[in-house]
C-alpha cells in the first residue's frame, strides 16, 4: 500500500464518522479561493470533467466546491431522452443493461429497489 493509501485508510477508520463527515462538509463549503480552487482542479483532473460542457468554466464563479459539484451545463449539451427512454440527471457509470419488467428489483449503493420505486410510478409495469 502506498503512503497516500495508508493515510486515507487511517483517516477513514481512525476518525469517528461524524468528525470525518464534518471535516469533509467544511471543505465542500470552504470559500477560501486557494483551497476551493485546488479542490475543484483536483476533482476536474481525477474525474476528467469536460470543462467545455460547463456553463461557467471560470473557477472563480464558484463560491465553494459544492457549487462546482452542482454546476450547470451549457444549454443543449446533453439532449433529453425520447419518450421511450429514461434519462438520469447525473453523470455515472452503467454497470449492466437490459430490458426491465414491473417486478424487476435493482440494487444501488447497497440498497434494493423495486422498478416502480425508482421510476416513481407503476405506469411502466
Per-residue pLDDT, averaged over 65-71, amounts to 91
When pLDDT is cut at 50, 70 and 90, the band that residue 33 belongs to is very high
Q: Which residue has the cell 493509501?
A: 5
Q: Is the pLDDT of residue 43 over 90?
A: yes
**Cell triple for residue 54?**
460547463
pTM of the model: 0.56
Q: What is the mean pLDDT of the chain?
A: 81
**Cell triple for residue 5?**
493509501
The pLDDT score that the predictor gives to residue 65 is: 94
Q: Is the pLDDT of residue 17 over 70?
A: no
Q: Is the pLDDT of residue 78 over 70?
A: yes
Per-residue pLDDT, averaged over 97-106, amounts to 77
**Cell triple for residue 103?**
417486478
Q: What share of the chain is helix, strand, coil (3-state, %, to 5)?
A: 45, 10, 50
Per-residue pLDDT, averaged over 55-78, amounts to 92
Q: Is the pLDDT of residue 124 over 60?
A: no
Determine the Cα–Cα distance for residues 60 and 100; give it in Å rounded to an integer. 44
Rounded percentage of the chain residues whose pLDDT exceeds 90: 35
Domain ranges of the chain: 3-69, 96-125
Other Cβ atoms closer than 10 A to 36: 23
The pLDDT score that the predictor gives to residue 58 is: 96
Amino acid at each position: 500500500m502506498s503512503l497516500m493509501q495508508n493515510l486515507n485508510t487511517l483517516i477513514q477508520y481512525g476518525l469517528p464518522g461524524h468528525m470525518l463527515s464534518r471535516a469533509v462538509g467544511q471543505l465542500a463549503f470552504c470559500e477560501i479561493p486557494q483551497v476551493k480552487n485546488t479542490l475543484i482542479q483536483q476533482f476536474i483532473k481525477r474525474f476528467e470533467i469536460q470543462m467545455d460542457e460547463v456553463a461557467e468554466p471560470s473557477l472563480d464563479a464558484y463560491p465553494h466546491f459544492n457549487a462546482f459539484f452542482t454546476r450547470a451545463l451549457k444549454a443543449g449539451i446533453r439532449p433529453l431522452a425520447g419518450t421511450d427512454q429514461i434519462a438520469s440527471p447525473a453523470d455515472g457509470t452503467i454497470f449492466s443493461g437490459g430490458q426491465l419488467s414491473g417486478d424487476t428489483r435493482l440494487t444501488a449503493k447497497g440498497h434494493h429497489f423495486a422498478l416502480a420505486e425508482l421510476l416513481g410510478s407503476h405506469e411502466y409495469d
